[in-house]
Amino acid sequence: MKKIYEGKTKDVFDLENGNYLLKFKDDVTGVDGVFDPGANEVGLRIEGAGKAGLKLTKFFFEKINNAGIATHYVDCNIDESNMTVLPARVFGEGVEVICRYRAVGSFLRRYGKYVKEATPLDAYVEVTLKDDDRNDPLITDDALDMLGILTKEEYATLVSMTKKIGAIVKEELAKKELELYDIKFEFGRVGEDAHIALIDEISGGNMRAYKNGEYVEPLTLEKMMLS
């Protein structure tokens, strides 16, 4: 295998059969040693976070595939912390799509003058550019279209898919008496027809989940969801 990308929480390898292999690591994003799924840097290392993230990713990607929503997921090997995926072409140099159900994190930091912490939000969707040097700036559909990153039609598809996938995750968490506050997704173009598909992962490391108003750590979340 040839390593083609080294990410914050995963490394990507090129397989001989045309697919990619994602190697999950124990690094998670955060600031000053505090976990933050919206951060653009590795903030800490949590032993077992890689396998926990992969287990939850497998759980959710299979649910999403069964719902008829396109993903890049093929299969995984939990023991090796590996996931096999279809190759995908990202939008520009990558975008992140956040679905928000409560006002926390960067949303609260930006708009705290107008909203109280944990105020309910109606599956509010934001898109940011993956750009560490510029702190992953927010971007509008008009700007994405003008810059040639994705069309307005593709943007609408991203928003629609994000709300559908977010609803699946939210519903599954609710079965364990957990509440999803926000979650971050990534998408890409997959296949010869370049259809839009969910890529990357869905784990405790890219969402905020709470129980009875108390934040649930990623490893605890995995245990609660899969027990």
Say how far apart CA 149 and CA 141 lie, in whole Å.
Answer: 10
Verify that 126 and 17 share a domain, yes or no: no
Does residue 153 sit in helix, strand or coil? helix
Query: Of the candidates 56, 88, 120, which is a domain's last residue?
Result: 88
Which residue has 């990607």 as its token pair? Answer: 61
Verify that 99 and 202 share a domain, yes or no: yes
Kindly report the pTM of this predicted structure. 0.91
For residue 71, what are its two tokens?
């993903």
Verify that 67 and 97 share a domain, yes or no: no
Query: What phi, psi does 215 have (nearest 5°)?
Result: -65, 140
Task: Bin 21: left if φ > 0, else alpha if -120 < ψ < 50, else beta.
Answer: beta
pLDDT above 80: residue 175: yes
On whether the CB atoms of residues 209 and 181 are closer than 8 A, the answer is yes
Verify that 34 and 124 share a domain, yes or no: no
Rounded to 10 deg, the angle between the 49-66 and 218-226 helix axes is 50
For 65-100, what is each residue's pLDDT tens digit? 999 999 999 999 999 999 999 999 999 999 999 999
Verify that 18 and 122 share a domain, yes or no: no
Nearest Cα to 197, choosing from 184, 187, 186? 187
Looking at residue 213, which CATH number applies to its domain?
3.30.470.20
Query: Of the candidates 55, 88, 121, which is a domain's last residue?
Result: 88
Verify that 34 and 114 share a domain, yes or no: no
Verify that 93 and 58 share a domain, yes or no: no
For residue 113, what are its two tokens?
């003058």
Say how far apart CA 54 and CA 79 lie, in whole Å.
Answer: 10
**What's the confidence (pLDDT) of residue 46?**
77
Verify that 39 and 110 share a domain, yes or no: no
Does residue 218 sit in helix, strand or coil? helix
Verify that 72 and 126 share a domain, yes or no: no
Verify that 144 and 188 share a domain, yes or no: yes
Query: Of the candidates 88, 114, 141, which is a domain's last residue?
Result: 88
Give the range of the structural domain holding residue 65, as residue numbers without chain letter: 2-88
Domain count, the chain: 2
Looking at residue 74, which CATH number applies to its domain?
3.30.200.20
For 179-217, what is each residue's pLDDT tens digit? 999 999 999 999 999 999 999 999 988 899 999 999 998
